[in-house]
């Protein structure tokens, strides 16, 4: 792995393929990730607006690396000052750094966020400056988060999701403490990596690891946006902009099948334009709905989304009828709100 400056230069090199520049940004985050790699990546995707299709906004990579670089520059200045102090300490015989200085060695643990989707939303440089001030003073109140400065139950902050630096925050510490795993509702990491992230305006219902419907409005009136279905943690839609109303109708049809207790073998299932890259069939049993889908060869109007299975590979996922019905009941009021108040 080459240096941060070298990889940042590759991100800014417009002569390189966009995917290579994206991978260079990944290397930059590996070098400096104040929230941990996954949460820092998610933060940059949201803040810089890095899209699924990089071609639609290549400058988003420049915005992301600039924000990361600003925060890292501040961190490096602090580390350099610490190095000067350590040389002076060694000159007078203090060879071992104090326990309160251990945080300098772990920039990826400055404010580790176990849930990649739950992290501070301010610019990285703002949060890093706040963390440096708090840790340098050695006076971090147990009930106050140094990342967002709000009240917390240590060491985890319910507001910004950060586990600020302390000995129990390390997964390899002597006490055996482990940071909490991401909650079940979190977006699967492969989708976060592919920039298919949820926004503050995203609404929906259901369990993402069973069946979930989500919608993110992108138009001013809310009638157009990104409609997504998740089946057992797999995103089916291609995350392109679409009209909401037809998808509500298709979802209602699917729910009607779930409520009607008849059984049948595999039948074609049509879910709308953002699912056209898939050939989908639906089979029903007394208790379950069986979704089988295959990615079609390259579509005439573009590639399937990067999270789709390889063309020709068939996936078969079983969901209980009750999960589909529950997802609709939770999502319906939010979805219809965009149609009635637009």
Write out the residue range of the structural domain in which residue 290 sits: 198-340
Least-confidence region, from 2-6, 111-115, 290-294: 111-115
In DSSP terms, 213 is beta-bridged to 205, 229
Inside any domain, residue 175:
no
Q: What angle do CA 70, 75, 76 make, to 5 degrees?
A: 100
| Cis ω before 112 (30° cut-off from 0) | no
Residue 86 is assigned to a structural domain of this protein: yes
CATH code of the domain in which 231 resides = 2.30.31
Considering the domain architecture, whether residues 146 and 222 belong to the same structural domain is answered as no
Q: What are phi and psi of 318, to 5 degrees?
A: -105, 130
- Whether residue 180 lies inside any domain: the answer is no
Residue 233 and residue 107 share a domain = no
- Contacts for 323 with CB less than 8 Å, ≥ 6 apart: 206, 207, 210, 211
pLDDT value for 341: 62
Among 126-130, 184-188, 294-298, the range with the most confident prediction by mean pLDDT is 126-130
pLDDT at 174 over 70: no
Same domain, 108 and 22: yes
Instruction: Please state which of the ranges 99-113, 137-151, 196-210 shows the lowest mean pLDDT.
Output: 99-113
Task: Work out the average pLDDT over 180-201.
Answer: 84
Predicted structure pTM score: 0.88
Count of domains observed in the chain: 2
Q: Is 284 helix (H, G, I), strand (E, B) or coil?
A: strand
* Domain assignment of residue 113, yes or no: yes
Say yes or no: 217 and 139 in one domain. no
**274 in the same domain as 132:** no
User: Do both 10 and 122 map to the same domain?
Assistant: yes
Same domain flag for 14 and 131: yes
Nearest to 9 by CA among 223, 20, 227: 20
**Residue 192 included in any domain:** no
Residues 204 and 101 in one domain: no
Residue 209 belongs to some domain of the structure: yes
Residue (of 327, 331, 290, 34) closest to 160 by Cα position: 34
pLDDT bin (cut points 50, 70, 90) of residue 146 is confident
| 234 and 127 both lie in a single domain | no
Share of the chain above pLDDT 90, in %: 65
Is residue 181 domain-resident?
Answer: no
Give me the chain's average pLDDT, please.
87
Share of the chain above pLDDT 70, in %: 82
Rg over alpha carbons for the chain, rounded to the nearest Å, is 24
Distance between CA atoms of 85 and 97, rounded to whole angstroms?
10
Q: Where are the alpha helices (DSSP H) in 207-263?
A: 244-259
Per the domain annotation, does 215 fall within a domain?
yes
Q: Are residues 251 and 213 in the same domain?
A: yes
Query: Which position has the token pair 């000995």?
Result: 167
Give the Cα separation of 293 and 173 in Å (integer). Answer: 44
């Amino acid at each position: 792995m080459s240096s941060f400056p070298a990889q940042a230069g590759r991100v800014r090199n417009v002569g390189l393929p966009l995917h290579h520049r994206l991978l260079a940004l990944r290397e930059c985050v590996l070098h400096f990730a104040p929230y941990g790699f996954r949460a820092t990546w998610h933060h940059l995707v949201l803040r810089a607006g890095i899209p699924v299709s990089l071609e639609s906004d290549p400058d988003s990579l420049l915005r992301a690396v600039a924000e990361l670089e600003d925060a890292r520059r501040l961190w490096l200045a602090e580390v350099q000052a610490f190095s000067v102090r350590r040389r002076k300490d060694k000159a007078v015989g203090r060879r071992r750094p104090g326990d309160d200085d251990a945080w300098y060695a772990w920039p990826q643990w400055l404010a580790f966020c176990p849930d990649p989707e739950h992290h501070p939303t301010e610019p990285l440089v703002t949060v890093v400056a706040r963390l440096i001030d708090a840790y340098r003073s050695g006076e971090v109140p147990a009930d106050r988060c140094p990342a967002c400065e709000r009240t917390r139950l240590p060491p985890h902050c319910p507001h910004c999701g950060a586990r600020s630096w302390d000995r129990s925050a390390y997964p390899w510490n002597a006490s055996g403490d482990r940071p909490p795993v991401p909650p079940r509702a979190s977006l699967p990491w492969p989708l976060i990596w592919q920039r298919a992230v949820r926004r503050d305006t995203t609404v929906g219902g259901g369990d993402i690891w069973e069946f979930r419907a989500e919608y993110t409005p992108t138009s001013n009136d809310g009638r157009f946006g990104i409609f997504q279905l998740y089946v057992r943690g797999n995103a089916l839609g291609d995350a392109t902009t679409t009209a909401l109303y037809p998808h509500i109708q298709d979802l209602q049809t699917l729910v009607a099948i779930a409520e009607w207790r008849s059984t049948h073998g595999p039948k074609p299932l049509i879910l709308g334009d953002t699912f056209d890259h898939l050939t989908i069939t639906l089979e029903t049993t007394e208790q379950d709905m069986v979704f089988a889908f295959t990615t079609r060869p390259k579509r005439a109007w573009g590639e399937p989304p990067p999270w789709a299975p390889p063309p020709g590979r068939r996936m078969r996922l079983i969901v209980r009828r009750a999960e589909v019905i529950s997802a609709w009941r939770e999502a319906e009021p939010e979805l219809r709100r965009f149609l009635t108040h637009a």
